[in-house]
C-alpha cells in the first residue's frame, strides 16, 4: 500500500489531494493517506451548507467550510483531529463495508490501552460516545474510504461550530446525525501525542499490508493545487452545490410580525416574499427583487446592508433579516 502524508493543513488542498489520487494516480496501487486540517467544517456532498454550519461562529472565528466528495453529515476538524483515507479497488472490497477500514484504527487504539467499538453505522465510539465519523465514495470501480478521528479536539468548538438548532429547512439535503462526542485522549491511560498516534495507525496497517512512503512530484503537486483552486476552494462548490430548498420564517418584532417565504437554489436566494403589517414607504417588490441572487452564507448580513431594509420594513435591520434567513 502506498503511503502519503499531507503536510498541508489547508482543507481545500487536502480534499483536492484525495480526489487527485483517486482519479489520476496509478490504479493498480492502493493508497493510504494521513492529513489534518486547520479549523474547518467539512460538509457531505449532498448537504445544504447553510443548514449545517453556525454562520456567526464560522464568521467570527474564520473557520473554513469545505464540501467533500463523499456523502454523509457535517463534521468539525481542528488540529486535534486526524483524517485518514484509503483509496482502493472496489473489486477487492465489498461495497460500503466500513469494517475493514476502521480495524486499523481500533488496532492502533489497543496499543494505547483504549477500547473502542464500531457502531455498525459509520462511527467509532468509546463508551457509546463518538470520536470518529466515516464515509465513502465509489466511482469507476475505485473506492475511497475516509474517516476523521478526534484524538484531542476541542469539543466545545465542535458543538459550537455545527448548527445545533435544526431549523425548518424544507429540502432534500442529507441531514447530519448529531451524536454525543468524545476524544480519544479523554479515555487514554496517558495523553497520546498526534505523532505517536499516527505511528500506531501506520503500524496497524503494516500488520496486514506493507507501507511504501511516497511524495508528490512537482507536476502532481501543481495539479493538486489547480484542483484546489478550481474546485475545492470555490464558493460554487462549497455553498453553491447545496440542494434547492424553501422555507417559511416568521418573527415578531416590536413593530409587528414579519413573515418571509424563501426559495433557495445553488446557495443563493431564488425568490423571496415578505408579509407583514408595518411596511415602510418603499415598494416591497423592489426589495424582493434586489435580494434575488444574494448568497445565503455568513456574509449575507453585509450584503443586505446595501438593500436599505429599514426603508421597506420599518424598524427592521439587515441583521434581523440575516438572522431570520440563516438561523
Ligand X SMILES: Nc1ncnc2c1ncn2[C@@H]1O[C@H](COP(=O)(O)OC(=O)CCCC[C@@H]2CCSS2)[C@@H](O)[C@H]1O
Q: How far is the CB of 102 from ligand X (least distance, A)?
A: 12
Interface characters, 91-130, with ligand X (x: CB under 6 A): -------------------------------x-------x
- Return the number of the residue (68 or 241) whose C-beta is nearest ligand X: 68
Compute the radius of gyration of the chain from its Cα atoms: 22
Q: 3-state class of 175 per DSSP?
A: coil
Q: Where are the alpha helices (DSSP H) in 150-279?
A: 155-161, 194-206, 218-227, 235-238
Q: How far is the CB of 161 from ligand X (least distance, A)?
A: 8
Distance between CA 99 and CA 121 in Å, rounded? 10
What spatial distance separates the first Cα and last Cα of the chain, rounded to whole Å? 45
Query: 298 near 58, Cβ under 8 Å?
Result: yes
Q: Is 178 in the site for ligand X (CB under 6 A)?
A: yes
Query: 30 near 6, Cβ under 8 Å?
Result: no
Kindly determine how many residues on this chain lie close enough to bind ligand X according to the rule CB under 6 A. 27
Strands 256-265 and 81-89 come out as: unpaired
Q: How far is the CB of 35 from ligand X (least distance, A)?
A: 8
Strands 123-126 and 75-77 come out as: unpaired
Q: Is 133 in the site for ligand X (CB under 6 A)?
A: yes
Query: 261 near 240, Cβ under 8 Å?
Result: no
Q: Is 72 in the site for ligand X (CB under 6 A)?
A: yes
Binding to ligand X in span 21-60, by CB under 6 A: 42
Rule CB under 6 A: choose which of 9, 90, 179, 259 binds ligand X.
179
Strands 170-171 and 245-253 come out as: antiparallel
Query: 212 near 206, Cβ under 8 Å?
Result: no
Q: Is 76 in the site for ligand X (CB under 6 A)?
A: yes
Site stretch for ligand X (CB under 6 A), options 75-83, 247-255, 271-279, 291-299:
75-83
Rule CB under 6 A: choose which of 65, 73, 82, 262 binds ligand X.
73
Rule CB under 6 A: choose which of 105, 148, 321, 325 binds ligand X.
148
Question: Which residues in this chain contact ligand X in the complex, by CB under 6 A?
Answer: 42, 68, 72-73, 75-77, 81, 83, 122, 130-135, 146-148, 150, 158, 162, 176-179, 181
Amino acid at each position: 500500500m502506498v503511503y502519503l502524508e499531507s503536510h498541508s493543513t489547508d482543507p481545500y488542498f487536502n480534499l483536492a489531494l484525495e480526489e487527485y489520487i483517486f482519479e489520476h494516480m496509478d490504479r493498480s496501487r492502493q493508497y493510504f493517506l494521513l492529513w489534518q486540517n486547520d479549523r474547518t467544517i467539512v460538509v457531505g456532498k449532498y448537504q445544504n451548507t447553510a443548514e449545517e454550519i453556525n454562520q456567526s461562529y464560522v464568521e467570527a472565528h474564520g473557520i473554513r467550510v469545505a464540501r467533500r466528495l463523499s456523502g454523509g453529515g457535517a463534521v468539525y476538524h481542528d488540529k486535534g483531529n486526524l483524517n485518514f483515507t484509503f483509496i482502493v479497488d472496489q473489486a477487492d472490497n465489498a461495497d460500503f463495508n466500513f469494517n475493514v477500514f476502521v480495524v486499523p484504527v481500533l488496532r492502533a487504539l489497543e496499543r494505547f490501552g483504549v477500547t473502542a467499538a464500531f457502531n455498525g453505522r459509520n462511527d467509532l465510539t468509546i463508551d457509546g460516545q463518538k470520536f470518529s465519523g466515516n464515509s465513502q465514495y465509489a466511482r469507476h470501480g475505485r473506492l475511497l474510504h475516509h474517516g476523521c478521528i478526534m484524538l484531542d479536539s476541542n469539543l466545545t468548538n465542535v458543538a459550537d461550530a455545527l448548527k445545533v438548532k435544526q431549523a425548518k429547512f424544507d429540502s432534500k439535503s442529507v441531514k447530519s446525525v448529531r451524536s454525543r462526542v468524545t476524544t480519544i485522549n479523554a479515555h487514554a491511560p496517558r495523553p497520546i501525542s498526534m505523532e505517536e498516534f499516527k505511528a500506531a495507525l501506520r503500524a496497524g496497517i503494516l500488520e496486514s499490508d506493507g507501507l511504501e512512503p511516497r511524495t508528490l512530484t512537482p507536476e502532481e503537486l501543481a495539479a493538486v493545487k489547480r484542483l484546489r483552486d478550481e474546485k475545492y476552494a470555490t464558493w460554487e462548490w462549497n455553498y453553491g452545490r447545496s440542494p434547492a430548498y424553501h422555507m417559511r420564517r416568521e418573527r415578531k418584532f416590536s413593530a409587528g410580525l414579519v413573515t418571509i417565504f424563501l426559495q433557495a437554489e445553488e446557495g443563493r436566494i431564488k425568490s423571496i416574499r415578505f408579509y407583514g403589517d408595518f411596511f415602510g414607504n418603499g415598494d416591497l417588490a423592489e426589495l424582493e427583487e434586489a435580494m434575488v441572487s444574494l448568497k445565503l452564507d455568513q456574509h449575507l448580513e453585509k450584503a443586505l446592508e446595501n438593500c436599505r431594509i429599514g426603508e421597506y420594513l420599518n424598524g427592521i435591520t439587515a441583521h434581523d433579516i440575516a438572522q431570520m434567513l440563516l438561523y
